[in-house]
Chain A
Amino acid sequence: MSGALGKDLLSLEHLSADQIRLVLDTAEPFKEISERAIKKVPVLRGKTIVNLFFEASTRTRISFEFAEKRLSADTVNVAASGSSVVKGETLVDTARNLEAMRIDMVVMRHGSSGAAKFLADRIESNVINAGDGKHEHPTQGLLDLLTIRDHRPIAGTKVCIVGDVLHSRVARSNIWGLLKLGAEVAVCGPQSLLPLGIEALGVRVFRRVEEAIAWADVLNVLRLQLERMQAGYIPSLREYYRHFGVTVERLEKAPRDLLILHPGPMNRGVEIDSRVADGPHSVILNQVTNGVAVRMAALYLLAGGKPELAEAAKGGSDR
């Protein structure tokens, strides 16, 4: 069991279907801990975890911090803006200095794709990727899988990711995870925001959101980053909403009720209609709740375990 995920959690592309299922199955009992009056179990007592966030984040950072605290780990938050990074320190030097203080794990968000792997190759601590550039955001992918699985079996489910797939690490982690667990995956958005050649992964492409809605069981609606308009990817936010907004009117024409996911933060009235976001088929807040459980599972599975000591412990336990 020890090392079932390896040293680090960097991407879903490099996990097997069994490893993904292990994290989801482990997350199930962790959900209950957050419902207790005392929301804390002692399993990571004495572990020190650094949350190293080079990009702004509210939800992900808080979610990781809750997960760490509910497992009794000691945590330190480092935000790039208030740290030696602004004085020109390199990523590796920052991490090596942290390691010199005897930490066990680093949770990192960074603006560069591949930053998490770069770090993981250079330090002994476990590394969890909390989003690296446009590459992956594995725990977001896992919590989306868990939220879909709460409502229906993933294998055979049709999931369409709507919006700015090109710049989205959430989309990439979702695509890998969903495909590995046997879902059918599609993307939908303006041509300028879809990666070229994405069909080669086995992903269907819809140019019109109406067609995507007619096909899908689940929509994962991505946040449209407002900077994309200034960069010329879309003409205007109103135009985007008119063509790709997930609205009640469009969903009413669907042959079945669609489950609606959104990784947050939402731009109401840009990619999603408020009445949809707050509607009966929205599981957006369930995603947030599941995020803590999935991160607890990932931390638990990565931490601890010294195989060389396992022999000595045999025979001593009650079972």
Chain B
Amino acid sequence: MPTDERQLLLDERAFARTLHRMALDILRQNPDPELLVLIGIQRRGVEIAARLASHLAQETGAQVPRGALDITLYRDDFEVVGPRPLVGPTHLPVKLDGREAWIVDDVLFSGRTVRAALDELADFGRPGRIGLAVLVDRGGRELPIQADVVGERVPTAAGDRVEVFVRELDGRDAVEVVRAGRSAP
């Protein structure tokens, strides 16, 4: 019987430290916090964006506006998978035109979610620049998309899972990697 193996990638302290470093990295790339807007992808990207915003507020004193994006209706697999439940509301707090917009998500894998998010954002306006910040980059890209800010990189196999837990939804902050068990050959 193959068994799954669970590894802790980030514990509570490493989680906070990683987010702080990501916030500094965003500021290094966009020194003017007045132009920033963080857009979390539903679900956990929204929480990650909220954490980044509070780190940014500590660093600069500026309240960076935050939005949320449900990319379900922009997915490229509707013909294959059919309708999925919508995850959460899409709302953007400010006009995007000319802003430094950052797409924030928990895990970057195939890149298809980000592709959908880029399409959806284009329907809301024309930011001066769009950046991508992810807590975990697990490799395995199927599209030419890379993140500008990465919290942690971890190579994974296709069957592995990267599970992100956030206090607001799950009661704790952590990232775990579940390695799919392999049967003996």
Contact = CB atoms under 8 A, between A and B. Distances in A.
Interface string A293-319: 000000011011111011011011111
For the residues of A in contact with B, the DSSP-based class is loop
Interface string A1-16: 1111000000000000
B79 interface: yes
Contact of A317 (B77, B123, B125): B77
Contacts of A100: none
Given A2-B82, A304-B79, A316-B142, A29 B70 contact: yes
B89 to A, nearest CB: 6
B91 interface: yes
A232 interface: no
Contacts, number: 96
A312 B79 CA distance: 12
B80 A313 contact: yes
A40 B123 contact: yes
Given A305-B81, A306-B80, A309-B79, A318 B108 contact: yes
Contact of A29 (B90, B109, B124): B90
Interface of A: 1-4, 25-26, 28-30, 32-33, 36-38, 40-43, 71, 300-301, 303-307, 309-310, 312-313, 315-319
Interface string B19-37: 0000000000000000000
B46 to A, nearest CB: 14
B99 interface: no
Nearest to B90: A32
A184 to B, nearest CB: 30
**Which of the listed residues A3, A30, A316 has the most CB atoms from chain B within 10 Å of its own CB?**
A316
B41 to A, nearest CB: 9
13 contacts: A1-B82, A1-B85, A2-B81, A32-B89, A33-B73, A37-B125, A41-B123, A43-B78, A304-B78, A305-B83, A313-B80, A316-B110, A317-B113
A300 B74 contact: no
Contacts of B75: 43
A11 B119 CA distance: 36
Contact of A43 (B73, B111, B112, B125): B73
B107 A4 contact: no
Contact of B73 (A2, A28, A42, A319): A42
